A and B are shown apart, each in its own frame.
Chain A
Amino acid sequence: MFTSTKNTQRKKRQELIAKYLLMTMTLLIILPLILIIFYLIYQASPILSVDFLLKNPIRGMRDGGIWAPLLGTIYLVLISLLIATPIGVFAAVYLNEYARESWLTRVINLAVVNLAGVPSIVHALFGLGAFVLFAGIGRSILAASLTLAIMTLPVIIASTKEALAAVPVAFRQACWNVGATRWQTIREVVLPNSISGILTGVILQVSRAAGETAPIMFTGAVFYKAIQEGDLLAYGLLDQCMALSMHLFTISTQVPDVPVALPYGTAVVLLGVVLLVNALAIVLRFKIRSRKKW
């Protein structure tokens, strides 16, 4: 018969303490955040409505809705997406399908890691120096989108690479064996079978681009610009635009006497957009994991 000695009891107790201590630490990271989100929603509730989304800010941004910044954010995100996706997907194709173990591959991987680590304000300086001034595009949606695209490139590269690596090598060999070229193999078999993973990367890029402020501050976003309400084509490529993130910054720090609910409402919409888009990516990823064709 085993009887628990004092020593093992002590050990048991120790282990329980450790477990609950670590659990508390984890909860301390997560719980305040959930409270904060509820608090934000609570504060914003008086103002949240469809009208809030569809009306321009008025009276020096002290009233009205967030139509102009919302549309601006959509423009910035979509255009940066159009630029970053092909480059990012092709870069991942290169790294996963063509690159061999070599110094060049190492340097590329290092560059991707560093691109992800460059501070957002440095991206802003780069965008200003390269696109606005050097390329002569001027402060515009295009310049801001280019800056965002380069900033979010690593997100797309990383997820696409992961998705491509999940396609079994045997598929590629089968294609090569029947005389398909490398590109044919990639186009017909590898890419179609990693499309959901690539989509996840694209969605994460959207969420990242939608939330960024610093990179667009000096490259294309403005404090205030009224546009036609309800007109989806209100901005041109070389116009400056408002953006949700920038608008939140402006009305919470630069404009005096803004009614309390207004910045809270803007924050909740921004947060909602970003978290929803992210949740979509997560759901998609779980779907891929549970439903493979092979």
Chain B
Amino acid sequence: MVAGKSKISVQDLRVTYGHKAALKGISFDIYENDVFAIIGPAQSGKSTLLSVLNRTLEFTADARYRGIVKVDGDDIRHLHNVYALRRKIGMVAPLPVGLPLTIYDNVAFAPRMAGIRTRDELDHRVEQCLRQAALWDEVKDRLNTLGTRLSGGQQQRLTIARALSHQPEILCLDEFSIAIDPVTTMRIEEVLKDLSQHMTIILVTNLVQQARRLANRTMFLFNGEIVELDHSDVIFSDHPAQHKTYEYVNGIFG
């Protein structure tokens, strides 16, 4: 596989919560239209990394980050318009969060906030995103019911639809399958394979097999440091560069 253009570039990123270090100086690149998996046990800094990317880390009172994070070559620390950055990135949280709005409004929320008001365009966009998230057929007749009334699996797809609603170039999924059944998980994985054609996908997961199925490249984070970053074939082979990776992937520790 040929490495493409760098979409996200991270250099010596360190994050602290108060006195506690969450990321201890990590550097890596994510290429355009790549599916990039981040694996590692709980508390190893995976979710923190995602919140640095779209700068929602700054809503956590005592969190600080140092180092350089570039998205499309721009240092995100010096952005004039942070909302543009957040719209460039779609974010799916571990537990599905349906906003207490109707299904339609959940998906139309981001476009509306961005200033799109015409009904036609909103309708079009809602349908497109719900289709992309493989939810359209199940909800097309009840777009006006509350999003929170949907089942867990449907809500997670609703969150994905919402994350797509502002047409991001990067889609981050943070352990999206934690609260849903295996069948739905497989459906969403199919969806992700389609999306990866024209989008960079970052997949945070502690399901090793999921990373193996989907990702081109995989990064193993442990305790705020990168243990190993390589093509998935290598990480999940019998001979990764680090013995620790082998142990984690094969469930010997973690």
Contacts and interface: CB of A to CB of B under 8 A. Distances in A.
Q: Do any CB atoms of chain A lie under 8 A from CB atoms of chain B in the complex?
A: yes
A171 B59 contact: no
Contacts of B87: 178-179
Contacts of B56: 173, 176-177
Contacts of B100: 171, 189, 192-193, 293-294
Interface stretch (B24-32, B90-98, B196-204, B216-224): B90-98
Contacts of A178: 86-87, 90-91, 109-110, 113, 162-163, 165-166
B109 A188 contact: yes
Contact of B99 (A100, A179, A189): A189
Contacts of A111: none
B84 interface: yes
Interface in A243-286: none
Interface residues of B, number: 28
B157 to A, nearest CB: 14
A130 to B, nearest CB: 36
Given A184-B113, A293-B146, A174 B97 contact: yes
A179 B162 contact: no
A10 to B, nearest CB: 53
A171 B91 contact: no
Interface string A70-107: 00000000000000000000000000000011000000
Nearest to B94: A170
A173 B83 contact: no
Contacts of B61: 100-101
Interface in A161-204: 168, 170-181, 184, 188-189, 192-193
B116 interface: no
Nearest to B89: A177
B163 A181 contact: no
Binding site secondary structure of chain A: helix
Binding site secondary structure of chain B: mixed
B154 interface: no
Which of B84, B97, B110, B146 neighbours the largest number of chain A CB atoms within 10 Å of its CB? Answer: B97
Contacts of B89: 177
B113 A179 contact: yes
Contacts of A181: 83, 113
Contacts of B109: 175, 178, 180, 188
A170 B54 CA distance: 16
Interface string B112-155: 01100000000000000000000000000000001010000000
B159 interface: yes
Given A170-B93, A173-B93, A180 B113 contact: yes
B91 A177 contact: yes
A134 B100 CA distance: 48
A166 to B, nearest CB: 12
B91 A170 contact: no
Nearest to A187: B113
B113 A174 contact: no
Contacts of A176: 54, 56, 59, 86
Contacts of B162: 174, 178
Nearest to B101: A189
Contact of B166 (A168, A179, A293): A179
Given A179-B114, A179-B166, A174 B86 contact: no
Contacts of B59: 172-173, 176
B144 to A, nearest CB: 14
A180 B97 contact: no
Contacts of A177: 54, 56, 86, 89-91, 93, 163
Interface of A: 100-101, 168, 170-181, 184, 188-189, 192-193, 293-294
In the complex, the 9 A-B pairs of residues with the closest C-beta atoms, listed nearest first: A178-B110, A179-B87, A177-B91, A179-B86, A180-B113, A293-B100, A170-B97, A174-B97, A179-B83
30 contacts: A170-B93, A170-B95, A171-B97, A171-B100, A173-B59, A173-B97, A174-B97, A174-B99, A174-B162, A175-B113, A176-B54, A176-B86, A177-B86, A177-B89, A177-B163, A178-B87, A178-B90, A178-B91, A178-B162, A178-B163, A178-B165, A179-B83, A179-B84, A179-B86, A179-B166, A180-B83, A180-B110, A181-B83, A189-B99, A189-B101
